[in-house]
Structure 1
Amino acid sequence: MDYKEIAKEILENNYLAGVRALADDEEYKVGDYCRDSYEWDLENDCSTYHTTGEIANGTCATMIETEYFKTDDWETELAENIKKAVEANKERYGDKQVIVVSKQVNNDGMFDPGEIRLVNAKVIAVLD
């Protein structure tokens, strides 16, 4: 996977970005929009997919840090941030992943550390 090419697309379009691990019933290709995520049922400590069916306004993903760069080579630094987010997401959620982008986030709700909720999340890369 060429993370530098993905970084270039994110930077050129001023996207917010994340890595999404897909549920068993999700299948996306580049250009698709992801469905909204389910909320977390605090009372039952599980996804609302299994209880109330309550949907969040946005797609949850592991955030790719896109706003702060220490060097003049932004593409290389962002590519490294993408790689770190992919590894963190894989370790926590599984191998079936996509990189999603948006121009808007939803900050309402419960979040895991490093999580972002992207509104109208669009797939820009399918990872294998």
Structure 2
Amino acid sequence: MHGVRVGDAWCCADCGWRYGDAPDPDLPLPRIDVVYYIRYDDRVKIGTSWRPRQRLASIRHQELLAFERGDRSVEQQRHREFATVREGGEWFTLTPELRAHIAALRREGDPWLLYARWLSRTLRGLDDSR
């Protein structure tokens, strides 16, 4: 993350929050739906959650590969897109095509930093994904 000077304060260049500011902890956080890609051996689970920390903590996996902003409709679209390599349920074989898709998502940045940016932008009313 990079900072910029705004007046007499330092702010995050990505989300605009002033350094040291934080959302009111008594207020609920906004809902941010993500499609997640997690790896276990040579398999990838493509799932969705609006609470990714809790969700990923409950699934056995070796690595979080990527997040994509989206809800169940995006998840279902990805399931159709990679249907030929589905192993069962939401698990898919990690093929070159699936690797390329994940690599494209990774170019956006680290999954947790992306999630934090989406959350921050939504809290500031700058969410342009809707």
Q: Highest Rg: 1 or 2?
A: 2
More helix by share: 2
Instruction: Give the alignment's TM-score, normalised by structure 2.
Output: 0.32
Greater relative contact order, per chain length (Cα 8 Å cut-off, separation 6+):
1
Instruction: Give the alignment's TM-score, normalised by structure 1.
Output: 0.32
